[in-house]
Amino acid sequence: MIALDIKAGKLFIGKMNFADLPYNYIITVHNDKGDKFSDTNLTGIKYQVVDKNETIVTGKFINCALALKQIFRRVNERVEETISLKNIGTQQVFIDGIELGFVTNITNRPEWRLCAIPFRVQLDGSVHGLYNGIVKRG
C-alpha cells in the first residue's frame, strides 16, 4: 500500500517511510543573452486533492519566470508523477537543470541499497549498487 502526503513530503510504501523530508524543488535556466536564473523553492504552492489517488500541486519559480503544475497519481502500487512547466515571463528561457523529487534522510538506513539510475546495469552487464551501510563506512 502506498500512502502519499505531498504537503508534508511524506511517501510511505507499506510500513516503510520512503520519503521523510520536504519535496525538493530546484531549477536553473538561462536566457538568450546568457543571463542565468535559479530557484531553490517553489512559491505560492497550492494543493488540490482530486480524490484519494490524485493530488495536483501548482506554484511558481519566480526568478526563472516559470509556473509548475505537478500531478501525483497512485496507480496500483506505484506513484506516477506528471510535471508541466509554463513560461510566464516575457523572454525565452532554456532549462539548464531540474532537481525535483522526494527526499529522505539515509543516515539511519544502513539496509537501503543505493543504485545509480539509469546506470544500474552497465553495458558489460555488471550491476552497480551499494548498500548505504557500506557508503557510510567509506
Place of cell 506528471: 82
> Are 57 and 134 contacting, i.e. CB atoms less than 8 angstroms apart?
no
pLDDT tens-place string over residues 59-99: 999 999 999 999 988 888 788 899 999 999 999 999 999 99
**Residue 7's pLDDT band (cuts 50, 70, 90):** confident
> Are 58 and 45 contacting, i.e. CB atoms less than 8 angstroms apart?
yes
Of residues 79 and 28, the one with the higher pLDDT is 28
**Residue 10's pLDDT band (cuts 50, 70, 90):** confident
Q: Which of 43, 73, 80, 75 is nearest to 58 (CA)?
A: 43
Domain residue spans of the chain: 2-105, 107-138
Give the whole-angstrom CA distance, residue 64 versus residue 87. Answer: 8
| pLDDT score of 96 | 95
Which residue pairs, CB below 8 angstroms and at least 24 apart, start in 38-43? Answer: 38/63, 38/64, 39/63, 39/64, 42/68
| pLDDT score of 107 | 80
> Are 120 and 94 contacting, i.e. CB atoms less than 8 angstroms apart?
no
> Are 27 and 53 contacting, i.e. CB atoms less than 8 angstroms apart?
no
pLDDT tens-place string over residues 88-116: 999 999 999 999 988 888 787 777 766 66
H helices within the chain, ranges in order?
132-137
| pLDDT score of 83 | 95
Whether residue 132 is predicted with pLDDT greater than 70 in this model: the reply is: no
Which residues make Cβ contacts (< 8 Å) with residue 22, sequence separation at least 6?
8, 9, 103
Whether residue 57 is predicted with pLDDT greater than 90 in this model: the reply is: yes
Of residues 126 and 80, the one with the higher pLDDT is 80
